[in-house]
Amino acid sequence: MTEIMVVGGGLAGCEAAYALAGRGHRVRLVDIKPARFTPAHSDERLGELVCSNSLKGNDPYTNACGLLKEEMRRLGSLIISAADATSVPAGGALAVDRSLFAQYITQAVSSHKNITVTCGEVTKLPHDEWCIIATGPLTCDALAADIAAKLGGGLHFYDASAPIVSRESIDMSRAFAGDRYGRGGDDYINCPLTREEYELFVNELVGAERAILHEFERGEIFEGCMPLEVMAARGADTLRFGPFKPVGLRDENGNKFYAVLQLRKENAEGQAYNLVGCQTNLKFGEQKRVFSLIPALRSANFLRYGVMHRNTYINSPQHLKADFSLKSDPKLFFAGQITGVEGYVESAASGLLAAIHMHAKLSGRQPVVPQNVCVLGALSAHISAPNANFTPMNANFGILKAPKERIRDKKERYNYLAERALGYIEEYKKMI
């Protein structure tokens, strides 16, 4: 039996390895941890989440990432199973206890009879070997250089993560629990600001010293992970229409507020909270100073500060087929953010698709690429369709094939797209 090598123990690599192993293939999963860590990693286990602990919206009828999750659930996704099993309250989002999440994935992968996990560094792309490269946007230098040499260089952007504070250090006399519009119970802690407090915060945020400046002035920041200070510099009210949006948030007395920062649980015990939407590139001391201007966080204990890192991805439309295999080497597949899909769920989805398509080839069949009536198909089209200005893409309803007839009502349109996608997935399961 042919042994398949999967390089990278992140979400895409673990998803791919598990899917192939479940289909009867022997898999060797290679990861540099625990011998080495990238600048963004610190956990020895597989499936580490390096930015937020949220996998975004979970409702397939209102959120495209929620629809993608449901498509993956129906195809037996390991990553979505892990997220469902280790979730923490987050309103309409699917957020996880990141430690339990990594533990779940590590246990599932390392205990599978068809998977061998080894620690090592792959420095060159294999040739004429069955392999999935899922090394992520922080691919080690030697392999990144080899990829660049063989594929004509890589593209890149920057993204960031948000700070985390301890629950006990939040001043609840200046905060209140509850979800937007009263949905989801008391999943979030809401930190309100008056107009004067908000304006002071924004002024200090924009003027604070950043860890890196020069690279970010060239428009290389991914919109979905934009640093809070960059967002705030676009206008005084930008945050009030974004992560500090007060709409639908009232305290127990029914009071409305000028601006509100939401905090979301980081773990099942509720001992740590993430500053939602506050990804940042400020120096650590500046993060402490500026975020402490928020009344409820004046004495906050920061368990982790936000960090920013460079993400590298290949020009997939030039080099990859819609089945995620390399045009010049049909046995070599890519998966994860290195392909130009952006986000935890999207990365895992590409790993699942790469595994499904590789299994088809190994079984002597032509891969069946899903149509773009589902999110899995739309992402496949994104990484393979000719595009002179290829950039990373999150799941969104806008990349799905439009209905034959225009549906003006957004709720009805999303409902139609979700029903069509899930109906197609049931048929797709029979094709693979």
332 close to 339: Cβ distance less than 8 angstroms: no
Q: One digit per residue, pLDDT tens: the chain, 432 residues?
A: 689 999 999 999 999 999 999 999 999 999 998 867 666 666 789 999 887 889 999 999 999 999 999 999 999 999 999 999 999 988 889 999 999 999 999 999 999 999 999 999 999 999 889 999 999 877 888 998 899 888 876 666 666 778 989 888 999 999 999 988 877 677 899 999 999 999 999 999 999 998 864 443 344 555 556 889 999 999 999 999 999 999 999 998 899 999 999 999 877 778 789 999 998 989 999 999 999 999 999 999 898 888 776 677 889 999 999 999 999 999 999 999 999 898 899 999 999 999 999 999 999 999 999 999 999 999 999 999 988 778 778 898 988 998 888 898 989 999 999 999 999 999 999 999
- DSSP per-residue letters across 279-291: ---B-HHHHHHHH
DSSP class of 392? -
Q: What is the 3-state secondary structure (H, E, C) of 347-381?
A: HHHHHHHHHHHHHHHHCCCCCCCCCCCCHHHHHHH
By DSSP bridging, strand 308-313 and strand 155-160 are: antiparallel
Distance between CA atoms of residues 225 and 241, nearest Å: 16
Q: What is the pLDDT of residue 179?
A: 87
Which phi and psi angles does 298 have, rounded to 5°?
A: -60, -30
Rounded to whole angstroms, how far apart are CA atoms 311 and 316? 15
Q: Are the C-beta atoms of residues 74 and 425 closer than 8 Å to each other?
A: yes
Q: Helices 344-362 and 375-384, interaxial angle, to 10°? A: 80
Cα separation, 63 vs 67, whole angstroms: 6
Domain with CATH 2.40.30.260 in the chain: 164-306
Q: Which pLDDT does position 162 carry in this prediction?
A: 87
Q: How many CB atoms lie within 10 A of CB 408?
A: 6
Read off the tokens for 182: 């009263």
Predicted confidence at residue 393, as pLDDT, reads 80
> Phi/psi at 399 (nearest 5 deg)?
-95, -5
pLDDT value of residue 156: 67
* Dihedral angle over CA of 23, 25, 30, 33, nearest 10: 40
Q: 329-334 and 131-133 as β-strands: parallel, antiparallel, unpaired?
A: parallel
DSSP 326: E
The highest-level CATH class for domain 164-306 is mainly beta
* CA dihedral sign, ordered 405, 409, 414, 415: negative
CATH 3.50.50.60 assigned to 3-157+313-431: yes
What is the distance between the alpha carbons of residues 291 and 280, in angstroms, rounded to a whole number? Answer: 11
The predicted pLDDT at position 396 comes to 87
CATH 3.50.50.60 range(s) for the chain read 3-157+313-431
